Amino acid sequence: MEIRALILVNSATSQTHFPAAPLALLDVAGRSALDRLCERLQLQEVSRVTAIIEQGDPELARPAAWLPPGLEHQTVPADRFWRTSENAFNDLGQGSTDVVLLIRLGAYLELDVEKLVQCHLEGQRRVTRAMRERSPLDVFCVYGSRRNDAASIFRSRFGSCRGDWTPFPHEGYWNALGDSLDLRQFAIDMLTLKTETRPSGKEIRPGVWVAPQAAIEKGARLVAPAFVGSSARIRAGAVVTRCTTIEHHAEVDCGTVVENSTLLPYSSVGAGLDLAHSVAGMGQIANLRRGATVEVSDASLFGLVSANGGRKFWSSASQFPRRLWQAISQPPDSTLPPDREEAERTAVSVLTEPTADDKAAGEFAPSLAVATRRYGNQ
Amino acid sequence: MATNSRPVVVRRMPQRLNLRAAREFLHELQPLLGVDRPQLVFDLSQVQQLDAAGVEMLLYCMSEAHKRDGDLKLAALSQEAAVMLELTRTERLFEIYETSTDAVRSFSGFLPNAMRQQLLHEKRSIPPIAA
């Protein structure tokens, strides 16, 4: 029997404050919910998996960067999302395909494909729908040849389908992934082994997973359960504890305590801080205890790590011999153009001479104070 | 209960408390900080954005007030301000009140706030005498 799957990812079910991607595409303990679901389906003999992903704000969204490598996918604007999904079903249903699974993320669930298909075949109805505690889930099982039934599901936006459907009771793990709280709960469930899927990386000691190329400096403490993603950096004196996940390329600076939090990829937390009960990333901190999301513009507290910092380094390193040769071969120009000389003099005076405001403020010099804060505990 | 007659100054913080705003705010506040035993309440209900400079300014004001045997209390923290103070581990350094009125009242008594809260709690927990 040939089983194929069509996974739809749109932000309609998410109440997230992180606008760049739907929650199903954000990494949790090393991999996204979509990635984990695809792997699970492939392990359960699903021959082909296709994903249709709704493109959010084109300036912010870069879905390709969040997707698992090798996944067959289409990224489409919101207005063409359901139409494209319908066409994708028609493509998947061609040929010898017996059954197509329609799954919308939204919710992450650990589906037992064999039981679902068995239920579908025994139910003798054209459509089977997964249920959890009497509420329907966004998972359908449809015969590949039943295009009209599938079309009715897409046109109702997974609300219903024409005719009756067989209910399939889902007994495995399920997480709504509707907001930051659900994302955090997903990480906690994974680290406390309530899910079948595991954090990616090596379990260096019970309850502590570290992905390859993660840098944990001497003096940093990882208290189980915790996860540190690939190329992440935990600096000296930092403490990562209570089901915290530090995703790939994220950084925790000296002396900072990260507790019961998720630090999203390419985020950095400054030195001497206390990040607790939060999902932090993309310049925002969603504090789950207070139910508040705060935009942080101060890079000394919370910021972004450059995604292509390494590339920039090697690029400038490769140009070094050429620049060196230019410096040797060309005589140095000792006189600066007048406007540049003036600009440099102004810049120096701005840095060294106190302004009228500074004089009025007396001893207070915030720039110095911030520098002191950087080495907080010392 | 002992009371004092010195004035309590309540100031509402601006929406954005970055370096520039902190400097301006501090400039306006200098005369109030310079008096003997200043009693200040900062209302942070409007604060939408608070950065390291803003937090440093609050700490500076508190230390200046303490130097002159006065005090600075915070009131009506917005969610944004509360999250930032928690992040920078400074929320435990300040006395924080639900409203500005509570903060002003807290200056009027001699007892520390913790003891006053305890007394209030004990007062409430006494059952009414049956008629």
pLDDT of residue A371: 37
User: With an 8 Å Cβ cutoff, is A172 touching chain B?
Assistant: no
ipTM of the complex: 0.78
Q: Locate the chain B residue with the closest alpha carbon to A369.
A: B56
Taking alpha carbons only, the member of A273, A264, A258 closest to residue A216 is A258
The CA distance from B94 to the nearest CA of chain A, in Å, is 16
A94 to A71, A104, A196: CA distances (angstroms): 20, 21, 33
pLDDT of residue B11: 94
pLDDT of residue A219: 94
Largest CA distance in chain B: 63
Q: Which long-range contacts (CB under 8 A, 24 or more apart) does A60-69 make?
A: A60/A19, A60/A20, A61/A19, A61/A20, A61/A21, A62/A20, A62/A21, A63/A21, A63/A25, A66/A21, A66/A25, A66/A26, A66/A27, A66/A32, A67/A25, A67/A32, A67/A34, A67/A35, A68/A31, A68/A32, A68/A34, A68/A35, A68/A38, A68/A39
- From the number of C-beta atoms within 10 Å of its C-beta (0-12, 13-18, 19+), residue A119 rates as middle
- Across the interface, whether the CB atoms of A361 and B52 are under 8 A apart is answered no
Instruction: Return residues 299-318 of A near B (CB < 8 Å).
Output: 300-302
pLDDT in tens, B24-60: 999 999 999 989 999 999 999 999 999 999 999 999 9
User: With an 8 Å Cβ cutoff, is A350 touching chain B?
Assistant: no
pLDDT of residue A64: 56
What is the rounded CA–CA span in Å between residue A5 and residue A3?
7
Question: Which chain A residues are within 8 Å of B22, Cβ to Cβ?
Answer: 366
What is the rounded CA–CA span in Å between residue A372 and residue A375?
6
Q: What percent of chain B has pLDDT over 90?
A: 69
- Across the interface, whether the CB atoms of B87 and A366 are under 8 A apart is answered no
pLDDT at B4 over 60: no
Average pLDDT, chain A: 82
- Across the interface, whether the CB atoms of B84 and A295 are under 8 A apart is answered no
- Across the interface, whether the CB atoms of B52 and A285 are under 8 A apart is answered no
- Across the interface, whether the CB atoms of A301 and B83 are under 8 A apart is answered no
Whether the Cβ atoms of residue A88 and residue A102 lie closer than 8 Å to each other? no
Q: Which residues of chain A have pLDDT under 70?
A: 11-21, 56-69, 306-317, 330-378
Structure tokens given for A331: 């005589």
